Amino acid sequence: MITTAPRRPRPVALRLLVVVAALFGVLFGGAAPAFAHAALTGSTPAQGAVVDHAPEQVALSFSEGVAMSDDSIRVLDPKGKRVDRGKLRDLCSGETVKYGTGLPPGLPDGTYTVAWQAISADSHPVSGAFTFSVGAPSATKAPLPQQEAGGGLVGALYGIARYLAYAGFTLLVGGAAFVLACRPAASGVRSVQRLVVRGWALLTAATLAMLLLRGPYTGSGDLADVFDLGGLKAALETKPGAALLARLLLLAAAAVFLAVLFGAYERARRADTDGAAQPSGETDEARGHVDGGRLRRLTAGLSAAGLVVAAGLATTWAAAEHASTGLQPGIAMPVDVLHLLAFAAWLGGLAALLVSLYRGPVVERTAVRRFSRLAFGSVLVLVATGIYQSWRQVGTLHALTDTTYGLLLLLKVALVVVLVGIAWTSRRWTARLREAGTETAAATVPVGVAAASGAGVPDVPETSAASDGPDSPGSSDASDAAPADPARTAQLARQRAALDSAKVRRLRDADPERRGLRRSVLAEASVAVVLLVVATVLTATEPARTEEAVKAGEAGQSADANQPRVLTIPFDTGGAHGKGTARIDLDPGRSGSGNQLRVRIADPSGATMNVPEVKVSFTLRAKKLGPLPVVPEHVGKGHWSASGVQLPVPGQWQLALLVRTSDVDQVTETRNVKID
């Protein structure tokens, strides 16, 4: 009877990718635009301010370094026409990050809109808009951006590419480290080979996507601009674009590394294993020594080359994101490289161990113990580098609970603690493997399976059921009776491979210690997937220090709003000694009955002078309130004062100042003052 080989189960790596995709859909399906890392901390004029005269320039202050061009700051008049000079002014000084654009003189009264866009030093685009008014607020037709920079479909695609790039890096680096440092025999295991190669392919595809999306991500936000060569060239001239290009070049070197690892290295390892297992004479023994020396040289060379390539890949992140800006970048960048390498060695090696436990020959006890030591060392590096990164990005203890970054960091720490706890359970299963003495399971792997999987076990006679008995389709009598049919031979080979694979699975599943280890490693991998997602989101979140700086700036603006309102009003009554300046202080400048009004009159030289009469009134046209008169009392030469000035509601009030310098010479000047 003709039978077919059983359907092969889906690889564990594919299942993990499905889990990752599901988590992305749940966590980020309705996400807002990407978080930004540089933030606007102040502006001149301030948001919502009403100034007496048009300013000479508009200036913006940021929490960290940004890249801006001549079109990064646009000032629009009430009709939506651009009125700025179109030339960026670099106003940075020391640690102050400040840029501005000039305004022409004589701008009419009304509400002006400032729209700005920049690229933060850690590669993320930021944008915003605010208004200020000259003279008095007015209606405005200025169009505002429909979405933040880095948002929309392009922002979502770029974010997904970033997540996949981290996942690919983890599988590539961690899987290769598992093969070289923990289980050299895995270089011939197809499931491990596929895992590592797919990690390389995933990282390469994600990097290409990020490079193509870089232009529209930081600029227009239009997906059609992905193939704009001009935008691609401009992206390559930036620090993030150069980092992505360098990553592609390093991935080309990584492809050569993988070809040697799964090609020449595997052949040398198998030759060394065969020579050590079956020495038949002096020539074979000498050949074994030669193969062993070649294997040692390949191992040393691949280890050194792999470390260089892995560190280079990690540097492409460190040089373009959080570590490259802020406090101590010279220390933060190598620390970030170590953090990424340890993260990849632990989680990527865990994925390689998982597919080894579920697919292919029985995993050797020594390989599990080696990975346990590698994971423990990686955790120590993660703790040390994580503490430094947390101090650098968070700064204060209260920021851990008061900021989004701090809360995500706490979640990451909790997941690491859970992962370490599960890893402790895995170490217990590893200890049981050492006590159980289950080498017989590995020793009974059929030769056909060992050759196909690269298990590196000694050759033993095949015991396949397909060769039992003289009537077996694969018996020698059947072979002598008729010429071999190539199709029939291939079918028998498939049947024999299926039987051998089933025998390996039975031997593997019959081992309770390894079965427990598989379950604990699967639990580790499940938590690791969530940890990878949280860690990736953390890299796209505004650092706590930046968020605190923005809050401090907003608090400062709020404090400024509570400062006394001070107006300096020049006047000219047209008569003799009719020119001068009036300084009006309204303290605290809030609605209610507790305001103190002080007026100082000075001549053109700045010296105080007396005038016959000073009056003040307030009008709130939006509420049809006023004028509310205030008659200040003369309290000294050039000084007048009034207490308990009542301004019942907040709003944009109009202050009218009457100054009389003689019996017939007087003038009334009006100014706008914002009352909170």
* Long-range pairs for 70-75: beta carbons < 8 A, 24 or more residues apart: 72/99, 72/116, 72/117, 72/118, 73/99, 73/100, 73/101, 73/114, 73/115, 73/116, 74/101, 74/114, 74/115, 74/116, 75/101, 75/103, 75/112, 75/113, 75/114
User: What CA–CA distance (Å, rounded) separates 639 from 626?
Assistant: 25
What pLDDT sits at residue 207? 95
The boundaries of the domain holding residue 225 are 12-17+152-439+488-549
Per-residue pLDDT at 126: 80
Letter for the amino acid at 483? P
Give yes or no: residues 135 and 173 share one domain. no
Domain identity same for 134 and 66: yes
- Show Cβ contacts of residue 305 under 8 Å, excluding neighbours closer than 6 positions: 253, 257
The answer to the question of residue 216 being in a domain is yes
Share of the chain above pLDDT 90, in %: 22
CATH number at residue 102: 2.60.40.1220
Residues 336 and 392 in one domain: yes
Sign of CA dihedral 400, 405, 410, 413: negative
Domain presence at residue 452 = no
| Beta strands 57-62 and 97-102, pairing class | antiparallel
Q: In CATH, what number is assigned to the domain containing residue 629?
A: 2.60.40
**Three-class DSSP category at 457:** coil
Residues 6+ apart with CB under 8 A from 217: 125, 150, 154, 155, 158
Residue 175: is its pLDDT beyond 50?
Answer: yes
Task: Give the contacts of 340 (CB within 8 A, at least 6 positions apart).
Answer: 169, 314, 317, 318
Q: Please write the tens of the pLDDT for every residue from 134-171.
A: 887 788 888 766 556 556 788 889 888 988 999 999 99
Place 2 in a pLDDT band, splitting at 50, 70 and 90. Answer: very low
Question: Is the separation of the CB atoms in 122 and 325 below 8 Å?
Answer: yes
* Contact (Cβ atoms closer than 8 angstroms) between residue 54 and residue 110: no
Of 149, 165, 184, at which residue does a domain stop?
Answer: 149
For 476-501, how does the pLDDT look when each residue is reduced to its tens digit (9 = 90+)?
Answer: 444 444 556 778 787 777 777 777 66
289 and 394 inside one domain: yes
Q: How far apart are CA 634 and CA 613, in angstroms?
A: 9
> Residue 90 domain-assigned?
yes
The set of residues, in sequence order, having a beta carbon less than 8 Å from that of 641 and lying 6+ positions away, is 596, 597, 598, 599, 632, 633, 635
Contacts of 506 (CB under 8 A, 6+ apart): none
Does the residue 650 lie in any domain? yes
> Does pTM surpass 0.85?
no
Tell whether 65 is covered by a domain.
Answer: yes
Q: Are residues 291 and 187 in the same domain?
A: yes
Q: Which residues of 487-524 are buried (b: 16+ CB within 10 A; e: fewer)?
A: eeeebbeebbbbbbbebbeebbeebebbebbbebbbbb
User: Domain check: are 532 and 396 in the same one?
Assistant: yes
Last residue of a domain, one of 496, 522, 549: 549
Q: How many domains does the chain have?
A: 3
- Strand-pair partners of 641: 598, 633
Return d(Cα 48, Cα 554) in angstroms, integer.
13
Shared domain for 512 and 375, answered yes or no, is yes
> Within this chain, do residues 537 and 394 fall inside the same structural domain, yes or no?
yes
Return the pLDDT at 172: 96
Which of 239-253, 274-288, 317-331 has maximum average pLDDT?
A: 239-253
Distance, CA of 467 to CA of 476 (rounded, Å) = 9
Q: Quote the pLDDT of residue 439.
A: 41
Alpha helices (runs of H) in 359-446, residue ranges in sequence order: 365-394, 399-402, 404-436, 439-443
User: Is residue 529 included in any domain, yes or no?
Assistant: yes
Same domain for 395 and 536, yes or no, is yes
pLDDT in tens, 503-532: 666 655 556 666 677 777 778 777 877 877
Do 367 and 379 share a domain, yes or no?
Answer: yes
**What mean pLDDT comes out for the span 330-359?**
88
Residues 80 and 177 in one domain: no
**Residue 361 counted as domain residue:** yes
- 622, with CB counted inside 10 A (0-12, 13-18, 19+), is exposed
The answer to whether residues 113 and 76 touch, using CB atoms and an 8 Å cutoff, is yes
Backbone phi and psi for residue 114, each to the nearest 5 degrees, phi listed first: -110, 115
106 occurs within a structural domain: yes
Which sign does the torsion angle of CA 108, 109, 111, 114 carry? positive
Domain boundary among 97, 131, 149: 149
Phi, psi of 490 (to 5 degrees): -65, -40
Residue 246 has pLDDT above 90, yes or no: yes
Same domain, 501 and 603: no
Whole-number CA gyration radius for the chain: 37
Considering only CA atoms, which of 361, 355, 359 is closest in space to residue 504?
A: 361
